[in-house]
Amino acid sequence: MKLTVLGNWSPYPAADGACSGYLIEGDGTKILLECGNGIVGKLHKHCKAWDLDAVIVSHLHADHCGDLAPLRYAINAGFLYKYRKDKLPVFITGQPSEKLQPLLKFNDCLRFYYFEDITDTITEYGTIKKQKIKNLQVEFFKVKHSIPAYAVAVTAMKKRIVYSADTEYIPELESFAFGADLFLCEASVLEKDMDYARGKHLVTKQAGELAKKAEVKKFLPTHFFPEYEIETIKKEVEEGFGGEVHLPQIGESYEI
pLDDT-based confidence at 46, cuts 50/70/90?
Answer: very high
At 70-98, the pLDDT tens digits run 898 899 899 999 999 888 888 887 643 44
Residue 122: what pLDDT?
A: 63
Question: What CATH code is assigned to 2-255?
Answer: 3.60.15.10
Residue 69: what pLDDT?
A: 83
Share of the chain above pLDDT 90, in %: 72
pLDDT at 207 over 60: yes
Query: Average model confidence (pLDDT) for the chain?
Result: 89
Give the start-end residues of each E strand in the chain. Answer: 2-7, 21-26, 29-33, 54-56, 90-92, 103-106, 111-114, 122-124, 130-133, 136-142, 150-156, 159-163, 182-186, 219-222, 253-255
Residue whose C-alpha is closest to residue 178's, from 210, 131, 143, 220: 210
CB burial class (10 A; 0-12, 13-18, 19+) of residue 62? middle
136 neighbors 26 (Cβ within 8 angstroms) = yes
* β-bridge pairing 136-142 and 103-106: unpaired
At 162-196, the pLDDT tens digits run 999 999 999 999 999 999 999 999 999 999 999 98
CB burial class (10 A; 0-12, 13-18, 19+) of residue 178? middle
